[in-house]
């Protein structure tokens, strides 16, 4: 990065009333890897049983519809990250593009996603490890994961980035090993298997309600592309870098998801007969490659979720808390930056503590519900913000880019959102009400706005 790029990047932050405090070191490729790690290229391995059974075998269709909904939202993130190249993600975009108070609520809802994702990943990974080493309690594994990730995140985004590259290579090699084994297994016609279109579409089993329910689960695998925008103040280059990486990461990981689940579906077509749906993919891996492949996928999935994905999630939520603390919408201490490593140290430690507490009180099922509800609610608000900001405030007149595309994103997301069950709405609604209460207290009844919020 030359001095000119650094100067322009600093100005793009300072014009919003902030100082450049975080260290700029990330390139487009670093952001792309971060996004892939956050979403986990082998993520479907962890929830394959739930998705394929809910989708009546049409697992690829569920991920395809998830991609359609997310791609429009990814372009909305692209446009808002160019307009407001600051940390805070959807919180900052809705706050400045639409309304400061609605922005707080958007940040509050995405916080539900970001805060709970590390806890969910730790709990799932610990549960899987209990199958291998039942003598170690779940909480013990959780503490190990939290300590490792917190140290890496405090040491700086560059150390996090180096860890991301190593783990991504391991994930992709595991992905490749499974795909080769599955291709050989199906191509040889073992156990009567053959390549078929039914994992993509089966007219005898299709219904929109079924697809909506399956997609509401599958969309969990896509959550994380939005986290790239939280690193805006640690990225070098022009304003389009974050947006390009966001869209690219989503497309790449979606292709990997669909290839992986298609091969799993044709290799193990009797999707209703898994001995344990919670670890269904490992039975698929064992069928096509034997015990070694089953153990490989289990171990790598634990590393990918419990360390890599949770590491990225902790980095994202700490930047969100940093941004909200900087605006005094949450306690200002959350914006404290480590003097040496230039990372939001207090926010990082808070996330670590919350992760341990949450895993002690919430189940995997409830965590999954809350994560999805918080993310999709915020995504809908973000797409609305694109319309309001670009067409209403800036009057760009670009109806295709600033109205039609975010509208399509809203419609797909709303369809999936409405397919959440009653308990999800109850839990998510309770969190929203709590956010309203916090907002009223913080702003003294909506009389005090965050500092220096001006649309540009």
Task: State the chain's maximal CA–CA distance in angstroms.
Answer: 70
How much is the pLDDT for 451? 56
Instruction: Decide: 379 and 409 in contact? Cβ < 8 Å.
Output: yes
For 366, the token pair is 């409830």
How much is the pLDDT for 247? 92
Kindly report the backbone phi and psi dihedral angles of residue 26, in degrees, each rounded to the nearest multiple of 5, phi listed first.
Answer: -95, 135
How does pLDDT run along the chain (456 residues), one tens digit per residue? 344 444 444 446 666 666 777 777 788 888 898 888 878 888 888 788 888 998 999 999 999 988 887 899 999 989 998 888 876 678 888 988 999 899 889 988 988 877 787 888 888 788 777 767 778 888 888 888 889 888 888 887 667 677 778 888 999 999 999 999 999 999 999 988 999 999 999 998 888 888 777 887 787 788 778 778 877 777 887 778 888 999 999 999 999 999 999 999 999 999 988 888 877 888 999 999 999 998 898 888 888 878 877 877 787 778 878 877 887 878 889 889 888 888 889 998 998 898 888 888 877 767 777 787 888 899 999 999 999 999 999 999 899 989 999 999 899 888 878 878 788 888 889 989 999 998 898 888 887 776 544 433
Helix (H, G, I), strand (E, B) or coil at 96: helix
How much is the pLDDT for 160? 67
Question: Which ranges of 268-290 would DSSP assign to H, the alpha helix?
Answer: 280-289
Of 111, 315, 309, the closest CA to residue 221 belongs to 309
The whole-angstrom separation of Cα 360 and Cα 261 is: 32
DSSP string, 328-341: TSS-GGGG---TTT
How much is the pLDDT for 208? 81
Q: How far is CA 163 from CA 33, 167, 221, 375, in A?
A: 10, 6, 21, 26
What is the distance of C-alpha 86 from the center of its chain?
19
How much is the pLDDT for 405? 92
How much is the pLDDT for 83? 84
How much is the pLDDT for 421? 79
Q: How far is CA 236 from CA 28, 147, 163, 256, 425, in A?
A: 8, 29, 19, 28, 40
Hey, how many other C-beta atoms are within 10 angstroms of the C-beta on 159? 16
Q: Which residue has the tokens 């965590």?
A: 367
The whole-angstrom separation of Cα 143 and Cα 209 is: 39
Hey, how many other C-beta atoms are within 10 angstroms of the C-beta on 333? 10
Domain spans of the chain? 26-443
The whole-angstrom separation of Cα 370 and Cα 26 is: 31
Q: How far is CA 72 from CA 178, 206, 386, in A?
A: 31, 24, 11
The whole-angstrom separation of Cα 362 and Cα 310 is: 17
Instruction: Decide: 231 and 87 in contact? Cβ < 8 Å.
Output: yes
CATH number for the region 26-443 comes to: 1.20.1740.10
């Amino acid at each position: 990065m030359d001095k000119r790029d650094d100067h322009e990047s600093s100005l793009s932050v300072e014009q919003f009333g902030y100082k450049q405090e975080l260290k700029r070191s990330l390139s487009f490729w670093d952001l792309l890897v971060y996004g892939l790690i956050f979403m986990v290229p082998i993520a479907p391995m962890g929830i394959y049983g739930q998705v394929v059974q809910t989708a009546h075998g049409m697992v690829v269709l569920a991920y395809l519809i998830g991609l359609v909904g997310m791609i429009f939202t990814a372009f909305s993130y692209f446009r808002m990250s160019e307009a407001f190249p600051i940390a805070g993600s959807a919180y900052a975009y809705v706050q400045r593009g639409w309304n400061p108070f609605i922005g707080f609520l958007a940040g509050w809802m995405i916080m539900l996603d970001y805060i709970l994702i590390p806890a969910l990943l730790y709990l799932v990974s610990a549960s899987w490890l209990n199958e291998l080493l039942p003598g170690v309690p779940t909480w013990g594994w959780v503490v190990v994961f939290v300590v490792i990730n917190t140290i890496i995140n405090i040491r700086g985004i560059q150390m996090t980035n180096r860890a991301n590259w190593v783990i991504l290579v391991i994930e992709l090699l595991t992905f490749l090993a499974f795909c080769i084994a599955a291709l050989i297994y199906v191509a040889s016609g073992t156990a009567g298997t053959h390549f078929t279109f039914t994992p993509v579409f089966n007219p005898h089993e299709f219904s929109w309600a079924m697809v909506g329910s399956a997609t509401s689960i599958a969309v969990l695998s896509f959550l994380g592309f939005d986290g790239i925008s939280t690193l805006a103040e640690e990225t070098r280059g022009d304003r389009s870098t974050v947006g390009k990486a966001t869209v690219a990461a989503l497309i790449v990981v979606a292709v990997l998801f669909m290839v992986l689940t298609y091969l799993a579906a044709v290799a193990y077509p009797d999707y209703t007969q898994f001995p344990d749906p919670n670890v269904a993919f490992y039975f698929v891996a064992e069928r096509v490659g034997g015990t070694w492949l089953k153990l490989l996928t289990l171990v790598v999935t634990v590393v990918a979720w419990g360390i890599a994905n949770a590491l990225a999630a902790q980095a994202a939520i700490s930047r969100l808390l940093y941004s909200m603390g900087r605006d005094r919408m949450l306690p200002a201490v959350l914006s404290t930056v480590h003097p040496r490593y230039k990372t939001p140290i207090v926010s990082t430690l808070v996330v670590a503590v919350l992760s341990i507490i949450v895993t002690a009180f919430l189940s995997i099922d409830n965590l999954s519900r809350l994560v999805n509800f918080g993310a999709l609610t915020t995504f809908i608000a973000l797409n609305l913000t694109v319309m309001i900001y670009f067409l209403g405030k800036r009057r760009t007149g670009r109806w295709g880019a600033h109205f039609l595309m975010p509208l399509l994103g809203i419609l797909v997301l709303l369809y999936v959102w409405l397919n959440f069950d009653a308990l999800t709405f109850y839990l998510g609604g309770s969190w929203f009400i709590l956010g309203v209460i916090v907002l009223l207290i913080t702003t003294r009844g909506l009389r005090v706005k965050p500092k220096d919020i001006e649309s540009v």
